[in-house]
Amino acid sequence: MIPKNNVNPDCLNNRDELHESCGVFGIYSNDDIDAVRLTYYGLYALQHRGQQSCGIAVSQDGHITGHKGIGLVPEVFTEKVLDRLEGRITVGHTRYSTTGGASMEDCQPLIIRYKEGQLAIAHNGNLINASKIRLDFENRGAIFQTSTDSEVIANLISRFGLKYKNFEEVLIETTKNLLGSYAVVIMTKKKLAGIRDPWGLRPLSIGKIDNSYILTSETCALDTIGAEFVRDVEPGEIVIIEEGILKSIKTNQKKPHSLCIFEHIYFARPDSFIDGASIYQSRLEAGKLLAIQHPVEADLVAGVPDSGITAAIGFARQSKIPYGEVLIKNRYVGRTFIQPNQKIREESINIKLNTLKKEVEGKRIVIIDDSIVRGTTTKKIVRMLKEAGAKEVHVRISSPPVKFPCYFGIDIATKEYLIAANNSVEEIKEIIGADSIGFLSVENLLKCPIGAPKDSFCTACLTGKYPMKVPSGLDETLEDK
Amino acid sequence: MIPKNNVNPDCLNNRDELHESCGVFGIYSNDDIDAVRLTYYGLYALQHRGQQSCGIAVSQDGHITGHKGIGLVPEVFTEKVLDRLEGRITVGHTRYSTTGGASMEDCQPLIIRYKEGQLAIAHNGNLINASKIRLDFENRGAIFQTSTDSEVIANLISRFGLKYKNFEEVLIETTKNLLGSYAVVIMTKKKLAGIRDPWGLRPLSIGKIDNSYILTSETCALDTIGAEFVRDVEPGEIVIIEEGILKSIKTNQKKPHSLCIFEHIYFARPDSFIDGASIYQSRLEAGKLLAIQHPVEADLVAGVPDSGITAAIGFARQSKIPYGEVLIKNRYVGRTFIQPNQKIREESINIKLNTLKKEVEGKRIVIIDDSIVRGTTTKKIVRMLKEAGAKEVHVRISSPPVKFPCYFGIDIATKEYLIAANNSVEEIKEIIGADSIGFLSVENLLKCPIGAPKDSFCTACLTGKYPMKVPSGLDETLEDK
Amino acid sequence: MIPKNNVNPDCLNNRDELHESCGVFGIYSNDDIDAVRLTYYGLYALQHRGQQSCGIAVSQDGHITGHKGIGLVPEVFTEKVLDRLEGRITVGHTRYSTTGGASMEDCQPLIIRYKEGQLAIAHNGNLINASKIRLDFENRGAIFQTSTDSEVIANLISRFGLKYKNFEEVLIETTKNLLGSYAVVIMTKKKLAGIRDPWGLRPLSIGKIDNSYILTSETCALDTIGAEFVRDVEPGEIVIIEEGILKSIKTNQKKPHSLCIFEHIYFARPDSFIDGASIYQSRLEAGKLLAIQHPVEADLVAGVPDSGITAAIGFARQSKIPYGEVLIKNRYVGRTFIQPNQKIREESINIKLNTLKKEVEGKRIVIIDDSIVRGTTTKKIVRMLKEAGAKEVHVRISSPPVKFPCYFGIDIATKEYLIAANNSVEEIKEIIGADSIGFLSVENLLKCPIGAPKDSFCTACLTGKYPMKVPSGLDETLEDK
Amino acid sequence: MIPKNNVNPDCLNNRDELHESCGVFGIYSNDDIDAVRLTYYGLYALQHRGQQSCGIAVSQDGHITGHKGIGLVPEVFTEKVLDRLEGRITVGHTRYSTTGGASMEDCQPLIIRYKEGQLAIAHNGNLINASKIRLDFENRGAIFQTSTDSEVIANLISRFGLKYKNFEEVLIETTKNLLGSYAVVIMTKKKLAGIRDPWGLRPLSIGKIDNSYILTSETCALDTIGAEFVRDVEPGEIVIIEEGILKSIKTNQKKPHSLCIFEHIYFARPDSFIDGASIYQSRLEAGKLLAIQHPVEADLVAGVPDSGITAAIGFARQSKIPYGEVLIKNRYVGRTFIQPNQKIREESINIKLNTLKKEVEGKRIVIIDDSIVRGTTTKKIVRMLKEAGAKEVHVRISSPPVKFPCYFGIDIATKEYLIAANNSVEEIKEIIGADSIGFLSVENLLKCPIGAPKDSFCTACLTGKYPMKVPSGLDETLEDK
């Protein structure tokens, strides 16, 4: 789906500048396990990938039914709802968080009926040819009810279902028509399938509990439900679980492996592993390399909670500067929190963050964050630290400047809001009021995901090198939405 | 849409045996009127046609947007929601009430995007060839996300939109393909259209406030919002309001006028007029003719609240037997009401109805209801009256026995539940425990809608004479849903 | 409790001028009956006496616990809440409806802890010496947390509990100190008690299911739960049910029996019996006497739904003028209904009432209502009927003009809003625009409750003859609240 | 109030063994500030002290009114509610979190009416003579409606209000009768007062925005709303703000300063300062001293999130063992989260915590937590780390063993659940399965709050030395509740 440039008040993270992807999940149960409840816990573990809405589809009594709604997993699913759903095959989805535009229509999984029966689809990513496909379909008379890519994919499956009897072939033909990023989990009444785009832009993993299979955006969901990790779905691979057997189809569309590097920088949960690399270790390594690349004399290294903590630990280890904390975050946030109005002096009110004055006073502070998008939060943090008595504030960012729009699922659609697209590093330093600033280089960043295949990342938003040709005018298309 | 055979605990009416149709509404505003709020009040006036869910679509800032949800009009629409919606063209819908199966997907109006832009559709009725059309579309690759007829109609419009540039022609071609009952209100960003099926099975009226046009299932909604009645949409007519002008298209598909007689018997609000006839007057007349057809010596005539009241007044006037009340109904019902469990002796608990003992004691009572479907409520009422001391209980029904399934929108899908399909009048009398029973004849019933065209009614559920050929196997199709 | 002069938008009745009393209920179960659920249905049957809030207290596991909240009975009590409550002794309450001022603190039953343990109290009525007692207590150091009379009574019980060991004596002494109207249901962990004031201003009845006792404001709640009526609690009587036995205490404070005549005119449900008289029959009789007292030549007699219906039937029977309906009421109302704003032409929008034009056109109509308080609704109805084509509109009111404030529970605190306190009958006719008007005389009204003791009614609001000396300055006290 | 021994599923902290105190807050505004909204943000900053319920009272139009409810601050207060409240003097409260027993009655602030007018009271702490005072009052006829100490205090104020005209004297006399811990904020229509018990067991601070005064349990709330810290209320001090002036009354009841040491260990937010000491610094110091007292050879020091993090940083700094993270916590928790049922293998499901395998594998881990109460969470964490491949797991606790019940506000009422009350340190090590364990000594703990007065802490739960004589049988009283 196409994220919009909205501010997210609900984000548990203080950085309101970059939006998450979605999370997908699915179970094919061969055992006496409670597939629906495990999906609930699995989605709960993928909540960080999307807080706007969520849903579960299940194959029940020969039909695919389900429940979805606006809100967090524990808000949307009550005991009563979970009790009503039962079945052996499930598909689940968490959608990224945004203000206002939460529409029921766009909640996933999408459940459709077509010639071959019923389908449920959950998608993470962004198809850059979705508009084109929609137009093609509309030109042939089709109607669309949502703005999701899942609906586009469902239409393709339905169309190829006319030509190819075999579900495998249908999925293969479908993927041939998809351009962009996609990690998709699909179910029919009797089958569960997972698809990862040929570039492997979005993650998708396979797990097992006894003889039951699990598909999940991240491995942390496997740990949460007590499942063992089997392997990642490979870029360009389709897996179909049917009659208890997992079958792998390697489409011959494989492209240069290009996992979104922001999964490592920010999106994924630190306890997840993607394509063999530990997210946590990757962030720790980024901090270490940052310390080598941009050394500074200082008294304390601290991270912006929570996104900069791990890199800060790495930076401290490498630099031998003591690690500590300088900011405390109020974690009690929710969808109904009331923002300060104009009468309350906004500049002096720090609802979510507070400084630890004793730790900061008189010290030279290195403050680490994982990335800068607009720069407003970083600027506010620098000011808060200075006001708390910091002698110097050195900003270190464990990723390179974000300069280019992303068309594959990150919410950075237009350049105008990107501080690094419009300012030099020196200018950024001035804008945010830091004593020094340092970004991790692309070269160093790519060293961080230890264990992942070499050069297997998409760094388009940092380098402008897109893994595939992006249709001209896409920017406009996005804004038109 | 296809109603299901569910019991409705929320129905404000005590007769849980027959389900309502839906209500449709739309405004094309040429003046400075608050079209969205007026739609809210319009739907509120059509609430009796559907209590399960409701929705409003509006053309706003060049887009069609809207809000819909499960529940009554005042539950689904808050001040906050109404404040968010604004525009000059609206379409609204109330859906009939049922237990459990209230699905978000099936809420209307349906808003879709197709080649020509956006559409919102609200439908009242039942297409008997919907399954066939769906199958045709599915065979050509289309997907379906709801079980509504609106989605079928939207697909037809989209397909004919490829061939015919003119919206008029598109709608004409679309109606050529529809078989069954339909009163449809459709909007594009700049147009509002109303369509009534060639048999005129479901009602649809045109109203005006100053220069603004209103389309509505029933005229009571016009009174509610202070609009004047203009005329009924004719069977087989399409009206399109565009640039402030209402244009009428008479398709050459006109069929024998066949308004569902149950609109007069039960569905419509008594203060509505359909095809020139007052619903109230029609029910009064039914009572009078019933008194002539089935006279009885008695001390008191009373109606089952609320459905039998008007006919009872008519019966009393004709028979000269005093009119009175014998049953009091608790009107505080809602969706969350908790039904008695097994521990509570169900047979002795009368949650919603109570007898007026002093009125009943020692008297010969004529109790009037508008129809009998399953017979369970009537049976219970007869027992209550006897227990309250009635000397005799004479049941009079202001419509003929319901013996045949309806395929055009009434929830009487299978014969097995129809007491009159399986029992003689004498047997019914025995089952319900009455001292005598009398049904209004079809002949007399057709005399009731004073002012309506002669012989302009569908009496299929009473006579088995369907206005169109019903596809064989439709019963099964319905049950399969 | 002291009702305030608020407009009630939620009232299912169209007459927004007069407010209801409260409803009280209690069960002492000696059998295996589900006392909590039966209390739920009992309160549901008493919902018409109060729609603002409700609550149930229950003696459970040696404690008195409960649940109460703002809203209708089905809104406040969910399955989950009912499942949590279990016990053999219960007290329930429904509080009258008002706008805005719904406060959690004032929900009843009030559950308190005092020297002797716990108590739960539910009260219907209004103590005119409540302020004085509060002041006395406050002067001795007591604190108050609510504005209910129940808290005043609880304080008295607690105080007398120090002096008298016997619960009977405590209640007797307590009642000696109460001035005004009260029908009270009280429970301790092991006892259930009912108290009715010496004037019998508010109703209170005793019922039975097998060996279990029920106390209720109205007998309709007994019918609803399948209980038999035993007798009314007498004015000045205290009943205590303990160890399965009902004990009656006749305090020697008995005063002239003075049931609030408005219970017959408007408050009570027609299927209830109070002090031996059927409410329904009483209203029917009022209509008959009205026809004798104020005859008129007319074509149709109709009642304002729902409050005037029964009297209209009586009027028609007596006058031989045909009975009919002229107004249809939309029954789908709820607490969340959005009132029309200024942009919508209020004068032309009739949200809740609509006329039956065919019935009204060209006719001389007698329209009956049970009372006139402010006169605004009556005025609107007369205008609507005239606009619908009525040749003449004759207003007949089945009670005398309301001219004096009530201090015993009806919401008519100040004279300034009473149309009849400030205008002659002739002037009222002019104000409301009727062709003629007629009120039932006090003399005739008192003939209506057939079976009730002679002259056993309070008619203070009609005659200014208060059953007890009302403290001077009470008006001010009320307004100060 | 008296906390109960319940498990709290909603606690954002993983340690479900120890419950928080409450938070109190108040504003006396002399400026044009939005006192109600600032109270909202102040309470939000005190949310960690209580998640069960919250409330705000405000002096508005000559009355004290307010709003309170079950739930978090953003759940209980909507824009609509905040808009309705307006005034210059406020009192706010957050109540600690528990399962089930969330009762409306016990929500604070308590608003009462007494001889002198109205009062609102919010209390943090536990009166050990509350039962005795209640009994005294009950013996004189008083009734109680809640189980809060606030109601006890209100009764005392009301009673002394009869004897002393001066509000100061009333409060002084009231405090003479209170035994136990209390930080109280009280308002009348025109005054705001703060009281701290003579031992200073619970914190209470004074802040200012321009000329407006703020009272708050913790200074973090001052930072949140942009107020400056003025000073702590002293033990035994009463402050009254009236006509814009703050007046201090030092009661001559001052006792040995005894701030609850658990405010430093766990309760208070790290960015708060109490009695001159930084909570954060105190926890950091505890970690350092722990490293000196219980050194161990290891590869990594980590804290249990979030309660052990700061001490772990201190331990790492002192020990020179690298600091890192080993556990990731899912922060999306809420009141509606559904716990795993029995069918789901509980032992293998880790809903809220997950290990960072790469960090743990093959390493000797020092895991720090701030305290052990029951020991179940610590046991689970040790097992998780071992399963993740830890070579050794050394548990270090930055406080001494909790061996004695607390009567002043911490939820450790009975010894039987305290692992350290019933087991030696060696036995605890065995039970939790650690390779070694070490608790900080009381001596060292008391060195941590740098800047606080020497020996100014209550360590009763650790040492059994209670600051005041605890009534015998209190244990039973508590359990009886």
Task: Determine the residue among D31, D85, D214, D330 to mutate to test chain A binding: the one whose Cβ has the most chain A Cβ atoms within 10 Å.
Answer: D330
pLDDT attached to residue B244: 92
pLDDT confidence band for D412 (50 / 70 / 90): low
pLDDT confidence band for C102 (50 / 70 / 90): low
Lowest mean pLDDT among A95-99, B96-100, C233-237: B96-100
State the angle between helix axes of D149-163 and D167-176 in degrees (0 to 180), rounded to the nearest 10.
130
Q: In this model, does residue C12 exceed pLDDT 90?
A: no
- Residue B85, domain member (yes or no): yes
- Which chains have 3+ CB pairs within 8 A of D? A, C
Under 8 Å between Cβ of D356 and D325: yes
Arithmetic mean of pLDDT, D69-98: 90
Integer Cα distance of C55 and C57 in angstroms: 7
pLDDT single digits (tens) C235-278: 999 999 999 999 999 987 769 999 999 999 999 999 999 999 99
Q: In this model, does residue D9 exceed pLDDT 60?
A: no
Q: In this model, does residue D4 exceed pLDDT 50?
A: no
pLDDT confidence band for D16 (50 / 70 / 90): very low
- Residue D16, domain member (yes or no): no
Q: How close is the nearest chain B Cα to the Cα of A151, in Å? A: 9
3 state SS of B448: coil
Q: In this model, does residue A371 exceed pLDDT 60?
A: yes
Nearest CA in chain D to A51: D332
Catalytic residue chosen out of the listed positions C11, C22, C54, C260: C22
Arithmetic mean of pLDDT, B372-389: 93
Clarify whether residues C235 and C292 are in a common domain: no
Chain B residues contacting A, CB < 8 Å? 104-105, 110-115, 119, 138-145, 151, 154-155, 158-159, 161-162
Count how many Cα atoms sit within 13 Å of the Cα of residue D244 in the half-sphere of its side chain: 4
Residues in chain A with CB shorter than 8 Å from the CB of B140 are: 162
Under 8 Å between Cβ of B240 and B215: no
Clarify whether residues D113 and D246 are in a common domain: yes
pLDDT single digits (tens) C301-345: 999 998 999 999 999 999 999 999 999 999 886 667 787 776 665
Catalytic residue chosen out of the listed positions D22, D54, D458, D461: D22
pLDDT attached to residue A321: 97
Q: Count how many pairs of residues, chain A against chain B, have C-beta atoms within 8 Å.
A: 68
Q: In this model, does residue B82 exceed pLDDT 70?
A: yes
Q: Which residues of C218-253 are buried (b: 16+ CB within 10 A; e: fewer)?
A: bbbbbbbbbbebeebbbbbbbbbbeeeebeebebee
pLDDT attached to residue B470: 84
- Average per-residue pLDDT in chain C? 89
- From the list A104, A114, A138, the residue facing B143 with the nearest CB is A114
- Residue D440, domain member (yes or no): yes
Clarify whether residues A241 and A302 are in a common domain: no
Clarify whether residues B317 and B248 are in a common domain: no
- CATH code assigned at B176: 3.60.20.10
3 state SS of B298: coil
Q: In this model, does residue B377 exceed pLDDT 50?
A: yes
Clarify whether residues C185 and C287 are in a common domain: no
Integer Cα distance of C371 and C290 in angstroms: 12
Mention every residue, 6+ apart, whose C-beta is less than 8 A from residue D411.
D3, D4, D5, D6, D18, D19, D96
pLDDT confidence band for A252 (50 / 70 / 90): confident
**C-beta atoms surrounding A101 within 10 Å:** 11
pLDDT attached to residue B344: 67
Check C350 against B44: CB less than 8 A apart. no
Q: In this model, does residue B474 exceed pLDDT 90?
A: no
Residues in chain B with CB shorter than 8 Å from the CB of A174 are: none
Q: How close is the nearest chain B Cα to the Cα of C121, in Å? A: 25
Q: Count how many pairs of residues, chain A against chain D, have C-beta atoms within 8 Å.
A: 177
Task: Determine the residue among C106, C119, C143 to mutate to test chain D binding: the one whose Cβ has the most chain D Cβ atoms within 10 Å.
Answer: C143
Residues in chain A with CB shorter than 8 Å from the CB of D74 are: 332-334, 336-338
Integer Cα distance of A332 and C180 in angstroms: 51
pLDDT attached to residue D436: 98
pLDDT single digits (tens) A168-182: 999 999 999 999 999
- Residue B360, domain member (yes or no): yes
Under 8 Å between Cβ of C14 and C329: yes
Q: How close is the nearest chain A Cα to the Cα of B122, in Å? A: 15
pLDDT confidence band for A409 (50 / 70 / 90): confident
Between residues A1 and C441, the one the model is more confident about: C441
pLDDT single digits (tens) B152-191: 999 999 999 999 989 999 999 999 999 999 999 999 999 9
pLDDT attached to residue B4: 31
Lowest mean pLDDT among A383-397, B23-37, C417-431, D409-423: D409-423
Under 8 Å between Cβ of D205 and D195: no
pLDDT attached to residue B165: 86
Arithmetic mean of pLDDT, C433-442: 98
* Token digits of residue D291: 């490293």
Q: In this model, does residue D5 exceed pLDDT 60?
A: no
* Token digits of residue D161: 């209000």
- From the list A68, A138, A162, the residue facing B141 with the nearest CB is A162
pLDDT single digits (tens) B108-131: 999 999 999 999 999 999 999 999
Q: How close is the nearest chain A Cα to the Cα of B60, in Å? A: 15
Phi, psi of C285, rounded to the nearest 5 degrees:
-60, -40
Check C38 against B12: CB less than 8 A apart. no
Residue that finishes a domain, picked among C255, C289, C304: C255
Q: In this model, does residue D20 exceed pLDDT 70?
A: no
Between residues C412 and D88, the one the model is more confident about: D88
Clarify whether residues C218 and C285 are in a common domain: no
pLDDT attached to residue B409: 79
pLDDT single digits (tens) A10-43: 222 333 344 447 999 999 999 888 999 999 999 9
pLDDT confidence band for D31 (50 / 70 / 90): confident
- From the list C115, C144, C145, the residue facing D138 with the nearest CB is C115
Clarify whether residues B223 and B76 are in a common domain: yes
- Residue C465, domain member (yes or no): no
- Residue A18, domain member (yes or no): no
pLDDT single digits (tens) B195-245: 999 999 999 999 999 999 999 999 999 999 999 999 999 999 999 999 999
β-pairing verdict for B300-303 and B364-369: parallel
Q: How close is the nearest chain C Cα to the Cα of D353, in Å? A: 30
Lowest mean pLDDT among A222-231, C81-90, D407-416: D407-416
Residues in chain A with CB shorter than 8 Å from the CB of B139 are: 115, 162
- Residue A267, domain member (yes or no): no
Between residues C232 and B253, the one the model is more confident about: C232
Arithmetic mean of pLDDT, A289-315: 97
- From the list A145, A154, A159, the residue facing B112 with the nearest CB is A145
Clarify whether residues D250 and D284 are in a common domain: no
Nearest CA in chain D to C145: D112
pLDDT single digits (tens) A113-124: 999 999 999 999
Q: How close is the nearest chain D Cα to the Cα of A76, in Å? A: 9
Clarify whether residues C172 and C319 are in a common domain: no
Mention every residue, 6+ apart, whose C-beta is less than 8 A from residue A77.
A40, A54, A56, A67, D338
Residues in chain C with CB shorter than 8 Å from the CB of D104 are: 68, 104
Integer Cα distance of B240 and B22 in angstroms: 21
Whole domain around residue A230: which residue ranges? 23-255
Check D111 against C138: CB less than 8 A apart. no
- CATH code assigned at C328: 3.40.50.2020
- From the list B110, B139, B155, the residue facing A115 with the nearest CB is B139
Clarify whether residues D81 and D181 are in a common domain: yes
Q: In this model, does residue D216 exceed pLDDT 80?
A: yes
Amino acid at C271: D
Nearest CA in chain B to C74: B337
Q: What percent of chain A has pLDDT over 90?
A: 77
Q: What percent of chain C has pLDDT over 70?
A: 89
pLDDT attached to residue C410: 76
Integer Cα distance of C241 and C247 in angstroms: 6
Residues in chain A with CB shorter than 8 Å from the CB of D310 are: 325
Q: In this model, does residue D36 exceed pLDDT 90?
A: yes
Check D113 against C144: CB less than 8 A apart. yes
Question: Edge-to-edge strands of the sheet including D180-187?
Answer: D110-114, D117-127, D180-187, D191-196, D237-242, D245-250
Nearest CA in chain A to D347: A226
Q: In this model, does residue B17 exceed pLDDT 80?
A: no
Residues in chain C with CB shorter than 8 Å from the CB of D113 are: 138, 143-145
Arithmetic mean of pLDDT, C366-391: 95
pLDDT confidence band for C97 (50 / 70 / 90): low
Question: Edge-to-edge strands of the sheet including A436-439?
Answer: A300-303, A364-369, A392-397, A436-439
- Average per-residue pLDDT in chain D? 89
Amino acid at C123: H
pLDDT attached to residue B295: 98
Check A158 against B139: CB less than 8 A apart. no
Tokens 């108590």 locate to C119
Query: Cα dist. B258→B219, B263, B448, C463, D409 in Å?
Result: 19, 11, 15, 60, 77
pLDDT single digits (tens) B308-355: 999 999 999 999 999 999 999 998 866 677 877 766 655 566 788 999
In 3D space, the residue among D409, D398, D400, D397 whose CA is nearest the CA of residue D467 turns out to be: D409
Nearest CA in chain B to C41: B351
pLDDT confidence band for C416 (50 / 70 / 90): confident
pLDDT confidence band for B478 (50 / 70 / 90): very low
Nearest CA in chain C to B278: C358
Rounded to an integer, what is the distance from CA A134 to the centroid of its chain? 24
Q: Which residues of C313-348 are buried (b: 16+ CB within 10 A; e: fewer)?
A: bbbbbbbebbbbbbbbbbbbbbbbbbebeeebeeee
pLDDT attached to residue C15: 34
Residue that finishes a domain, picked among C255, C290, C321: C255
pLDDT confidence band for D6 (50 / 70 / 90): very low
Mention every residue, 6+ apart, whose C-beta is less than 8 A from residue C424.
none
Phi, psi of B84, rounded to the nearest 5 degrees:
-75, -25
Clarify whether residues C202 and C310 are in a common domain: no
Task: Determine the residue among B212, B332, B355 to mutate to test chain C binding: the one whose Cβ has the most chain C Cβ atoms within 10 Å.
Answer: B332
pLDDT confidence band for D136 (50 / 70 / 90): very high
Nearest CA in chain C to D64: C145
pLDDT confidence band for D83 (50 / 70 / 90): very high
- Which chains have 3+ CB pairs within 8 A of A? B, D
Q: How close is the nearest chain C Cα to the Cα of D104, in Å? A: 8
Q: What percent of chain B has pLDDT over 70?
A: 89
Check D313 against A325: CB less than 8 A apart. yes
Domains in chain A, number: 2
**Would you name the residues of B annotated as active-site residues?**
22
Check C113 against D158: CB less than 8 A apart. no
Q: How close is the nearest chain B Cα to the Cα of C115, in Å? A: 37
A473, with CB counted inside 10 A (0-12, 13-18, 19+), is exposed
Residues in chain A with CB shorter than 8 Å from the CB of B186 are: none
Residues in chain D with CB shorter than 8 Å from the CB of A271 are: 328, 354-357
pLDDT attached to residue C380: 93
Under 8 Å between Cβ of D367 and D383: no
What pTM was computed for the model? 0.91
pLDDT confidence band for A473 (50 / 70 / 90): low
Q: How close is the nearest chain B Cα to the Cα of C268, in Å? A: 12
Lowest mean pLDDT among A175-184, B186-195, B406-415: B406-415
Between residues A400 and C478, the one the model is more confident about: A400
Check B310 against C325: CB less than 8 A apart. yes
Clarify whether residues D223 and D288 are in a common domain: no
- Residue D242, domain member (yes or no): yes
D461 as an active site residue: the answer is no
Nearest CA in chain B to A81: B100
